[in-house]
Structures are given as C-alpha cells and as structure tokens.
Amino acid sequence: MSVLGLFHAACGLGALLVAVAIIALPKGSRAHRMLGWTYACLMAMGLVAILVRTRNAPPPFAGYAVFVIGLLIVAIVVSRRRAHIAAWRAWHGALMSLTIMGAVIAFGSIVGGLAIGASSGPPFYRLFNLLIVGMTAVGVAMIASTSVIWGRQPRVPERRARVGFGVLSIASSLALVIAQVPLASG
C-alpha cells in the first residue's frame, strides 16, 4: 500500500473513532463542536489523499469521495445558516450521518478485502458492492429511526429532511454500485 493509501486509511479510521465519540456526546456541546471539526478535517484529508492517489485512473469510488466532501461542506454550511433553515439540526445530523455511513462502508471494504485476500479486482468489487447495499440498508434504517436527529415528534420540515436523507443515501449508494459493476464483472 502506498503512503497516500496508508494516510487515507489512517485518517478514515481516526475519523470513525472520533465519530463514535461524537455520537456519545450531547449535541451542540463544546466537545461535540470540537470533535466535529476534527472529524470533518480527518475525513476531508483522507478523501483528498485517495483522490490524489487515484488521480491518473480514478475508480468510481473517487466520485463518491468527491460526493462525501460535498456532504461535509453542506453539513457545515447548514449548521452555520441555521437561522435560515427550518430543519437545520435534522439536515446537519443526517448529512454528517451519511458521511459516517460512507466511512463505515469503506472500512468494511478494507476489512472484507483483507479477509478474502483481495484489495482490488472483481472479487473485491463484488464484496464492496454487497457491503454497500447491506450497510446502506442497515444505516438508513438505523439513522431514520434516530430521534436525536429528527426529534421525538418530527415536524413537517424534519420529516421532509428524513425523506431527503433516505433518497440521497439510497441514490448515492446505488450510483456507486452501478458504476462499479464493470469492475465487479472483470
């Protein structure tokens, strides 16, 4: 594995560990905000590293990396523009949760690739696609039922945000799976 690949993996693992801490913290607390910025920076650095590493022959997941960077930016903007967005907490939580879901899927693909002895090629991409489908289904179900994001009695704006989150999650995962079908076919 290259230095950029190791840096990408280290940043991703660090981001996942920080995400676990963030999930356990009271939302909006000083520690939540500090760790949130740490998470966003680790994710962005790891994603930029993989984009640089694959710049000459970008695989489909490079497009997904750009998508996740965009999610991070929008999640931050939503929290900064809270006075202008009715369901800003729901959107911020949903978008950040979607980035965490992407990181969990990526980590699962690395572990799965090691388990099957393939870090590329058709077997790896078949496994990666199965993980994307399975983990997206589990992630969307878990996140869609989290009252911390949507509220105990979601208002209309939060319900719309929850639907938007589900559509965005499923559409982005489906697009990645479809883009990787040629790689999975060999």
> pLDDT tens digits for the chain (186 residues)?
789 889 999 999 999 999 999 998 888 899 999 999 999 999 999 999 999 999 988 889 899 999 999 999 999 999 999 999 989 999 999 999 999 999 999 999 989 988 999 888 999 999 999 999 999 999 999 999 988 888 888 999 999 999 999 999 999 999 999 999 999 997
**pLDDT of amino acid 43:** 97
Residue 75 burial (CB count, 10 A): 22
CA dist., res. 180 & res. 41, Å (int)? 27
| CA angle 121–113–65, rounded 5-degree value | 80
CA dist., res. 136 & res. 27, Å (int)? 24
**pLDDT of amino acid 50:** 92
CA dist., res. 61 & res. 102, Å (int)? 10
